[in-house]
Amino acid sequence: MPTYTPPLRDMQFLMHEVFKITDDYQQMKPFADVDADTINAVLEEAGKFAANVTFPLNISGDEEGCVLDKATHEVKTPTGFKEAYKQFIDGGWPALSCDPDYGGQGLPFVVNSALYEMLNSANQAWTMYPGLSHGAYEALHAYGTDEQKKLYLPKLTSGEWTGTMCLTEPHCGTDLGLLRSKAEPQADGTYKITGNKIFISAGEHDFTENIVHLVLARLPDAPVGSKGISLFLVPKFNVKADGSLGERNPIFCGALEHKMGIHGNATAQINIDGAIGTLVGEPNKGLQAMFVMMNAARLGVGNQSLGLTEVAYQNALVYAKDRLQMRSLSGTKAKDKPADPIIVHPDVRRMLLTAKAYAEGGRALITYSAFLIDKELNHPDEKVRKDSADLVALLTPIVKAFVTDNGWAATTMSQQVYGGHGFIKEWGMEQFVRDARINMIYEGTNGIQALDLLGRKILSNQGATLRKFGKLIGQLVEEEGVNEKMAEFINPIAMLGDQMTKFTTEIGFKGMQNPDEVGAASVDYLRVAGHLVFGYFFARMAQVALREIGNGSTDPFYQGKLQTARFYFAKLFPETASLMRTARAGSKSLMDTDAALA
């Protein structure tokens, strides 16, 4: 059976020693009284909830799955899931970073992000039920009418109701311009929504008495394509003016998807037959509100893979220290045993350190991104808010794609450490692998994320946002450029930072001649950008570790940080050279292949 220990020390290291978040929070009115002790206390309790309440339900929830009653369209979640959610609500966890005007606790988003990393390590399928509500909450908070906010946000904040994102249809996934769901205006200002949605995570369940569906649909006179999409709030039960529940709305779960992983989450096919809905935002501008949900979801999906990377690594490490197999190539290490533990073997260490580096790099990136969101929404300086927003936009596709690609690699490697036992269900490792696979697919496949990064976030503004991140690297290089102890961390990112300018310009120029060149290079490009970002954070973590060691600290945590950073730069970061070469190879070997693909 697997185990899980919340990585509180690493979270605190990033928040308080690397990013020093409370220094900035003192300048932000909503967080002026939030100190390190408060954050640490919340994280400690969050870790206890994840480890003690939801983690024990992970394997049993996967085995039991969800059951649909086709007569009533109701879904029964796995044993213990509903009771765990009640404890979640009773603990006030859904409200952690929500607006106090609607009953929220108003804590920084960084804290909420850390909570969800631990929940994802413990039980990704369970965590998706409350996790999906955050996207609905954010969209309504940004674009909802006063009435919608009054009726729905307090319930979403408390967790009494949950939310979904009803976007995908059987014939269209990412290309939402093809969707067919219709919205017919009614005399009272509401709309009757009709259509079919698929792959709706947490689309039906028994946790709460109501579910708030946010549904994309077309008005009768809507323009074709993505410019004709509107967003509607369609509750499972209609809500009266006083907030009480009215009649059942005809938005039903018609079937549950049979999936490779996340069996404990109800991935629903939703049939909508004249359900009453209200417009969110302006007509035909649903994509604006949708992207609020999508961006929140993309950061959340990256956090899912971070959680799985961490828990898979932890268990592989324990196994590698215990499992005896052969003798070390450099001589016997465990003389009192018939064989050495497999952790002595270089390739086992390669797999363990890869998973560890991907976890620590991913945690740094996601923590920093959450910190940027806090600054974007709350900092008093307009320029800081604008720069933070630009960097969030740049980093979001990297969080979603790079962290989930790495999560798939890390969980697979952690499974590999177990040898044959990793393929056996009782050890729990194969579930981490299965659950991790979806994260590369939903909320926009990783190929879509790569196009978004290169096309929309970088080339569309001639690399202006990329240069903002480059300035951060430049500042670090200027600080530590003459420090010999930092050279092994600074030199690689300084070199790649310089190369990125030429690399980006070259692809952009080729793309002007042939747009397929951008598509052919984008996935490789995103991984190069991901390593640049990870490299920057590993350099910053090494900077702090070296400083503490120089000040006399004997805490092995800091030595571990340096060793992980050295491994990352020696064994993982050099991938950028081959990636830039394959990106520069162009589109011809992909597109001039009709005979090969006949």
Q: Which residues are annotated as catalytic?
A: 443
Helix (H, G, I), strand (E, B) or coil at 275: strand
| Structure tokens that stand for 463 in this block | 């690399």
Instruction: Please give the C-alpha separations between residue 217 and each of 184, 191, 210, 373, 590, in angstroms, as whole numbers.
Output: 10, 10, 21, 29, 36
| Structure tokens that stand for 562 in this block | 């340096």
| Structure tokens that stand for 121 in this block | 């390590």
* Longest Cα–Cα distance in the chain: 84
Calculate ∠ Cα 163-196-300, nearest 5°.
35
Distance of alpha carbon 151 from alpha carbon 124, whole angstroms: 29
Give the helix/strand (H/E) hosting 119.
helix 109-143
> Strand 237-239 vs strand 230-235: parallel, antiparallel, or unpaired?
unpaired
| Rg of the chain taking only CA atoms, in angstroms | 24
Phi, psi angle pair for 164, to nearest 5°: -135, 170
CB atoms within 10 A of CB 465: 22
CA 52 to chain centre: 23
Instruction: Please give the C-alpha separations between residue 346 and each of 350, 351, 573, 594, in angstroms, as whole numbers.
Output: 6, 9, 18, 43
Distance of alpha carbon 128 from alpha carbon 118, whole angstroms: 13
Helix (H, G, I), strand (E, B) or coil at 483: coil
120: region left, alpha or beta (phi > 0 left; psi from -120 to 50 alpha): alpha
Q: If we measure between CA atoms, which residue out of 521, 500, 499 comes closest to residue 510?
A: 521
Distance of alpha carbon 89 from alpha carbon 590, whole angstroms: 51
Distance of alpha carbon 107 from alpha carbon 100, whole angstroms: 9
| Structure tokens that stand for 338 in this block | 């018939």
129 Cβ contact list (under 8 Å, min separation 6):
77, 81, 85, 162, 202, 205, 207, 265
Mark out the alpha helices in 221-345 (DSSP H runs).
Answer: 286-322
12 Cβ contact list (under 8 Å, min separation 6):
36, 39, 40, 43
Distance of alpha carbon 15 from alpha carbon 21, whole angstroms: 6
| Structure tokens that stand for 394 in this block | 């740049």
